[in-house]
């Protein structure tokens, strides 16, 4: 169960080049990515239409891609432009071409109907090249269904337990308090103030406390965009617990994408950093390493959870009050998936009978 | 196909402690075991009712167990007693608790209906702490259906072939003679005399022979209890081939349990030893090592057998006269499984009509 | 989907002996092979009729095979001739015996109905012991359906791409020209002249060109027999592009067999060499090593192709003009498989009505 009409992160910008072919699997569809000579990114079906061999084992010839099984050559738009030993190229000789947008250091690929492409659905994320930020990037591969990873990011109460020694250190509030949860058009927004929280490994002084405005969006298909902002103590109350209108002391950034590959494999992309006015490159590096350690804690519990589920897939989950986010998001995904499964409706037209009556008058 | 209403061996006593959580899977159900501070053993469902994460990756807090995903805490009886950030604990917030009995160095867990628990079904086995015996223990994990391992133990004719260099050395009688096979209430008993058998590696003198009273029970779900007893030659005849009434020269003990984990994985627990009046600790150790070597011979043939079966699961087996035990036991298991699948019958009551008629007279 | 009534290569002659039991799986059937004392080869079902243990883990006793689980002994024709501890041997106590022919250094096993055995279906291949040839042999195991390997061998246009640095070096003609494809009774024949081809690593002089008569048969279930023959330039034209009638300068030999084991595993046997008048043993060795390197290139692309197919088994293949061979052969296989699935027809008899009429006169 996955949404097709959505932008999926296929890779970090720096992982795609004109010198190599990058194979990726997204929602069970094989893709091959590369850059043309002009730097633009191409995403084609990684499955030759002839004998279904992967084109990612083929050869880039200028901007075209040749299958190195029997030699069919495809243009960057997916059309076959050469069949060795055969003059006629049938029109159906083609592989699927996917719409691609490169933005914010991510390669976004539209996995659904080309007629529904909508670039405004791509959220703003921070590029690694943004001079205003020091950012580091990475990814982890999961042997788990993407929904379990989404659930994890939609309920940060787990920080007090899974990450009690890392991200959630000295912060029982992650589990003890509930954020305000708001439904967005294709996602969920989480907002809350943490008052008087102690310093973190990346900001603050031992013994002092801070108010932390914690806000993030989680968007279809699994994009996590978080900008925690540190304030002097008392700010939360002065703002009446509403979103802050004052400049923060420190802002960190976490951009993440949970990408379903198959029913039991997923890739988790992530970037962590801070404003370049707030942090040195060395500190941003340390923030990243610390965060990545925590992500291995998530992977351990989620892959274990997957195994328990697979032992008896009929066992139901039980919702707690902390599941507002996961439940809301699972509902949004279900709505979108159901809508995609329905046959398209014809555009509404005036009824012939009414028209005839009008003409008759 | 497995019996639920039965005691399964979950672990050796010495493998369960207050310091660690022991995960086990029995008949496809995940369990976590630990000891309370008072030493008593707890067996809970190893699957949090919230998000189905394994509790065995959680944390023991006194006698309670906290899930380290989102922090739900469960008492030793399985009831949830804390949900971080949530005051109300719904009554259905609980994990299954399994009846446990610790006896004879084994942790026995009742996998079926709690209302049918019957501790008298637990057979007598010898504890490693029993001063009358020197015993050593171990286990092996199989990639095979438990029934194939049961079959193996229910037909010891294989000793002459699988174990021709170990347990069955110089003993073609294992395959050449048939034991008396008796159906028990939930198991099968095997009895026979071996007359004039040569000495074994653990008893007897080269060149001399002995009469061996060989007797064992095999009980649901897969418990093997064997007490071979050595006698001077001529004893079997003097006893008219009936069970011996005289004190033996030497008695060994073999307590074993075949435990189904999943459809294709099983754990085989075993203890081997002898009366402390008959054997030194060193000899008991040697008996154990020798026996364990033989168990690897069983594992090799049974896992190979499983692969052949999986290649074509429709191939039928053909019974020989040596299959009286396996067939009887498979029948008992089938009866129990079928009975468990039937809806429970109401207690029989006199029919209202008959009653009325009786009153009318 | 596989043909049963066919000869399958089970092993190289030198891999079967009286000293060891060789297990093989062919079209999902387990086989055990060995030689009798007289050197003749036996192929039995590798699955004891008793408990389905593999006989290949058993023991050869003279020419008989004893199962080393419970000791049943089978004669070389598959009949059980001993059951330990049991006097009566039921007639159905037997394992399947497979017709075997040893020819051309291969052990051929008939996998179908014994009543349809036809040794004339075994093609002529060159024995490693043939004094007229220097031959070397090997095999590779594939994690792929046999049909994908057959397809590969039925369309050598892939040589220009998969093997552009090995077998297809400097030979775009492999893909650029089409051979003449002829349907045989149970196979396909490929024939063509390559005019003015450059020298190969194993024959010819740098800077000179040759005419190459390239001809091979591909026979059910997957037997590849190729005899490329080198001629002076101009020969092809002098022969009017028909099969050559003059003695060649050099002949190489490639005998190969694609053997389906299971739905996703196959074994690929191959021999490569040249006439002993044309090549030294050292050159034949070098030809073999070079060819085997190329076979690893095939394995890489075919196993990758299999993975792409398994990601979405419903994706259709698209035929090119180079697929005449694969399509013809797939059709032949389908016909044979369909015919095997039909119930056998009774012999045609005169119609009852006509008979009655004849009697009425």
Q: What is the pLDDT of residues C324-349, one digit of tens each?
A: 999 999 999 999 999 999 877 665 55
For A181-228, what is each residue's pLDDT tens digit?
999 999 999 999 999 999 999 999 999 999 999 999 999 999 999 999
Spatial distance between the Cα atoms of B220 and B123, rounded to a whole number of angstroms: 10
- Mean pLDDT across chain B: 95
Average pLDDT estimate for A87-107: 97
Say if C145 is an interface residue toward chain A (CB within 8 Å).
no
* 8 A C-beta contact, residue B242 and residue B119: no
Distance separating alpha carbons of residues B357 and B360, to the nearest angstrom: 5
pLDDT digits (tens, 9 = 90+) for C68-118: 999 999 999 999 999 999 999 999 999 999 999 999 999 999 999 999 999
Task: Assess whether pLDDT exceeds 50 at residue A353.
Answer: no
What pLDDT score was predicted for residue C355?
A: 36
Tokens encoding A246 = 């004052």
Helices (H), chain B: 146-154, 173-176, 235-238, 281-311, 324-341, 352-360
Average pLDDT rounded to a whole number, residues C134-145 = 98
| Residue pointed to by tokens 């053993």 | B41
Distance between CA atoms of residues B255 and B126, nearest Å: 8
Rounded to the nearest angstrom, the gap between the alpha carbon of residue B190 and the centroid of all alpha carbons in its chain is 17
Share of chain A above pLDDT 90, in %: 94
> For testing the chain B interface, which of A165, A318, A324, A330 should be mutated: the one with the most B CBs within 10 Å?
A318
Check pLDDT > 50 for residue B356: no
What are the structure tokens assigned to C15, written together? 């891999």
Minimum mean pLDDT range among A152-156, B219-223, B302-306, B354-358 = B354-358
How many beta-carbon contacts under 8 Å exist across B and C? 81
Helical ranges in chain C per DSSP H: 146-154, 173-176, 235-238, 281-311, 324-341, 352-360
> How many residue pairs from chains A and C have C-beta atoms closer than 8 A?
80
Strand pairing of C97-98 and C41-45? antiparallel
Name the residue among B151, B311, B322 with its Cβ closest to that of C28. B311
C-beta separation of A32 from A56 below 8 A: yes
* Touching partners of B (3+ C-beta pairs < 8 Å): A, C
The secondary structure of residue A242, as a DSSP letter, is S
CB distance C309–A52 less than 8 Å?
yes
Q: Alpha carbon A317 to chain centroid distance?
A: 24
- Res B355 pLDDT > 60: no
Q: Is the pLDDT of residue B223 over 50?
A: yes
DSSP string of C220-262? Answer: TTTEEEE--EEE-TTHHHHTTTSPP-S--SEEEEEEEEEEEEE
Longest CA–CA span in chain A (Å) reads 86
Nearest CB among B46, B52, B54 relative to A317 is that of B52
Q: What is the pLDDT of residue A346?
A: 61
CA distance A230 to A236: 10
Note whether C52 contacts B: Cβ–Cβ < 8 A.
yes
Which region holds residue B135: left if phi is over 0, alpha if psi is between -120 and 50, else beta?
beta
Distance from A68 to chain C by nearest Cα, in Å?
5
Kindly report the nearest CA distance between residue A76 and chain B, in angstroms: 44
- Name the residue with tokens 């039925």: C154
Neighbours of chain A (3+ CB pairs under 8 A): B, C
A310-349 pLDDT, tens per residue? Answer: 999 999 999 999 999 999 999 999 999 999 998 766 655 5
> Which pLDDT score, from 0 to 100, does residue B1 have?
83
| CB < 8 Å to B30, chain A | 308, 311
3-state secondary structure of A170: coil
What are the chain B neighbours of A312 within 8 Å (beta carbons)?
28-29
pLDDT-derived band at B248, boundaries 50, 70, 90: very high
Cβ atoms of B256 and B238 closer than 8 Å: no
- Residue C33 and residue C109: Cα distance in Å, rounded? 10
Report residue B90: phi and psi, to 5°: -65, 145
CB contacts of B321 in chain C (<8 Å) are 83, 85-86
Which candidate in A4, A28, A53 is best for mutational testing of the C interface (most C CBs within 10 A)? A53
The two three-digit tokens of residue C161, written as one number: 């791409």
As a whole number, mean pLDDT of residues A32-55 equals 98
The pLDDT score that the predictor gives to residue C359 is 38
Cα(A356)–Cα(C245) distance, integer angstroms: 84
Query: Cβ distance A111 to A102 under 8 Å?
Result: no
**Rounded to the nearest 5°, which phi and psi values hold at A292?**
-65, -35
- Mark yes or no for CB contact A308/B84 under 8 Å: no
Total residues belonging to chain C = 361
Number of helices (H), then strands (E), belonging to chain A: the values are: 6, 19
Contact residues, chain B, for C51 at CB < 8 Å? 151, 305, 317
Element (H, E) at A45: strand A41-45
Chain B CB within 8 Å of residue C30 CB: yes
Interface of A with C in 261-300 (CB under 8 A): 262
Q: Do B85 and A315 touch (CB under 8 A)?
A: no
Yes or no, beta carbons of C72 and B320 under 8 Å apart: yes
pLDDT at B34 over 60: yes
Q: How far is B298 from chain A (nearest CA, A)?
A: 27
- Total Cβ atoms within 10 A of residue C121: 18
- A89 CB within 8 Å of a chain C CB: no
Across the interface, whether the CB atoms of C54 and B161 are under 8 A apart is answered: no
CA distance A323 to chain B (A): 10
The DSSP result for C61-74, as a single string, is ETTEEE-TTT--EE
Q: Are C320 and A86 a contacting pair at CB < 8 A? A: yes
At residue B42, φ and ψ (nearest 5 deg) are -115, 135
Q: What percentage of chain B exceeds 90 in pLDDT?
A: 94
B308 touches chain C (CB under 8 A): yes
Beta bridge pairs of residue C43 = C33, C98
Q: Identify the band that residue B348 occupies on the pLDDT scale cut at 50, 70 and 90.
A: low
User: Rounded distance, CA C252 to CA C216, Å?
Assistant: 12
**What does the alpha-carbon distance between residue A231 and residue C138 come to, in Å, rounded to a whole number?**
72
The pTM score is: 0.93
Distance CA C78, CA C72 (A): 11
Please give, rounded to a whole number of angstroms, the shortest distance from the CA of A159 to a CA of chain C. Answer: 35
- From edge to edge, which strands make up the β-sheet containing C100-103? C7-12, C106-110, C100-103
Please report, for residues A127, A138, B2, the alpha-carbon distance to residue A131 in angstroms, rounded to integers and kept in the order given.
9, 19, 64
Q: Which residues contact B347 (CB under 8 A, 6 or more apart)?
A: none
> How does pLDDT run across B129-180, given as a tens digit for each residue?
999 999 999 999 999 999 999 999 999 999 999 999 999 999 999 999 999 9
Cβ of A175 within 8 Å of Cβ of B71? The answer is yes
pLDDT at site C345 = 65
* Residue pLDDT, tens place only, C260-281: 999 999 999 999 999 999 999 9
Q: Residue B140: beta bridge partners?
A: B268
Smallest Cα distance from C315 to chain A, Å: 8
Structure tokens at C140: 């590779």
On chain C, the residues whose CB falls within 8 A of the CB of A264 are none
**Per-residue model confidence (pLDDT) at position A345:** 65
Is the four-CA dihedral C272, C278, C283, C287 of positive or negative sign? negative
Per-residue pLDDT, A1: 83
Residues 6+ apart with CB under 8 A from B125: B103, B104, B105, B106, B223, B225, B255, B271
At B343 the pLDDT is 77
Q: Quick one: pLDDT at residue B345?
A: 64
C218-250 pLDDT per residue, tens: 999 999 999 999 999 999 999 999 999 999 999
Write the ipTM: 0.93
Which token pair is A353? Answer: 């009978």
Q: What's the length of chain B? A: 361
């Amino acid at each position: 169960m996955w949404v097709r009409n959505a932008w999926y992160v296929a890779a970090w910008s720096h992982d795609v080049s004109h010198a190599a072919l990058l194979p990726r699997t997204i929602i069970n569809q094989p893709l091959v990515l590369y850059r043309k000579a002009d730097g633009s990114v191409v995403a084609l079906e990684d499955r030759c239409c002839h004998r279904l061999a992967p084109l990612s084992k083929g050869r880039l010839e200028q901007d075209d891609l040749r299958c190195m099984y029997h030699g069919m050559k495809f243009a960057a738009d997916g059309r076959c432009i050469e069949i060795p030993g055969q003059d006629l190229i049938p029109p159906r000789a083609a592989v699927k071409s996917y719409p691609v947008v490169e933005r914010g250091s991510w390669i976004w690929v539209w996995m659904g109907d080309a007629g529904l492409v909508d670039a405004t659905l791509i959220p703003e994320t921070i590029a690694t090249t943004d001079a205003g930020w020091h950012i580091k990037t990475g990814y982890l591969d999961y042997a788990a269904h993407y929904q379990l990873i989404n659930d994890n990011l939609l309920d940060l109460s787990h920080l007090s337990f899974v990450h009690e020694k890392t991200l959630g250190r000295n912060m029982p509030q992650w589990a003890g308090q509930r954020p305000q949860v708001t439904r967005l058009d294709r996602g969920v927004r989480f907002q809350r103030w943490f008052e008087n929280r102690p310093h973190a490994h990346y900001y603050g002084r031992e013994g002092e406390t801070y108010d932390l405005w914690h806000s993030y969006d989680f968007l279809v298909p699994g994009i996590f965009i978080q900008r925690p902002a540190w304030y002097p103590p008392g700010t939360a109350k002065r703002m009446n617990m509403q979103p802050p209108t004052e400049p923060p002391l420190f802002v960190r950034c976490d951009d993440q994408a949970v990408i379903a590959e198959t029913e039991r494999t997923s890739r988790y992309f992530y970037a962590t950093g801070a404003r370049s006015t707030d942090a040195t490159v060395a500190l941003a590096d340390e923030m990243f390493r610390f965060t990545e350690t925590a992500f291995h804690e998530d992977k351990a519990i989620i892959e274990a959870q997957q195994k328990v589920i697979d032992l008896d897939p009929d066992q139901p989950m039980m919702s707690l009050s902390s599941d507002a986010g996961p439940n809301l998001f699972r509902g949004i995904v279900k709505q979108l998936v159901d809508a995609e499964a329905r046959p398209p409706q014809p555009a509404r037209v005036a009824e012939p009978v009414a028209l005839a009556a009008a003409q008759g008058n």
